[in-house]
Structure 1
Amino acid sequence: MKVDVVYGAPSPPLLLSCRVSDDATVAQVIEQSGLLRCCPEINLQAQKVGVFGKFVKLDSVLKDGDRVEIYQRITRALDDDEDDDQE
């Protein structure tokens, strides 16, 4: 079956298409795609993954045509004059 793997890297986003076995999991597809070699900063233990915008686990089995997405970790740095209180 054919699936896509997308990583919203800082620039530009990467999209890889690959052919995998019918019982392939998210983790297997990410590994087979070669994305982890291209983007060593990816940490699948810390980053969320999804299929078409819905969070899934790494052991989720995929269907033909699925798009696996690896999401950036979201962090927010406060400016000196900004705090997170709403006082």
Structure 2
Amino acid sequence: MASAEPVERGARTIRVEVAYSPAPRQVDLQVFELPAGTTAGQAVLAAGLPERHPGFDLGTVTVAVWGRAVTPSTVLHDGDQLALCRPLIVDPKEARRVRYRAQGERGRQRISGSRSR
């Protein structure tokens, strides 16, 4: 387990997971012990994401704790899982429409042909 910064002996610490996906099918997951009172933004900096991932910008990602969006100033608690979500490139609904149109008549025949009476 990595430690982002030296923590005073006897000081209260929290364990936090930081997950970031710089590209599809790539995940940078780290577990840290940080001082109690650490914010989400401080945890991102402690994880060294800006140094390891060129182009990383905290202003363009959504910061989430256990899947709920939070601000970088949110104080983390022991056991929190911090996820940094990249912005969507394509609207999921539009991508689904494009796939449906690409199937064309072939996809519609399969669906209507599978019904039995």
Where do residues 1-87 of structure 1 align in structure 2 (5 Å cutoff)?
1-10=14-23, 11-76=25-90
> Structure 1: how far apart are the matches of 2:65 and 2:53?
19
Runs of 4+ in 1 over 6 A off after TM superposition: none
CA drift of 1:3 comes to 0.3
Which structure 2 segments of 5+ residues have no match? 1-13, 99-117
TM-score (norm 2): 0.62
1:4 maps to a residue whose letter is: E
1:26 maps to a residue whose letter is: A
Q: CA RMSD in A?
A: 1.7
TM-score (norm 1): 0.81
Deviations 1:34-72 (CA, angstroms, capped at 9, x unpaired): 122111222111211100100000000000010111001
Higher relative contact order (CA 8 A, sep 6+): 1
> Structure 2: how far apart are the matches of 1:65 and 1:21?
13
CA contact (8 A) 2:60 2:86 kept: no
3-state SS of 1:27 partner = helix
Higher helix share: 2
Which structure 1 segments of 5+ residues have no match? 83-87
Number of residue pairs aligned between Structure 1 and Structure 2: 79
Identity rate of aligned residues, in percent? 24
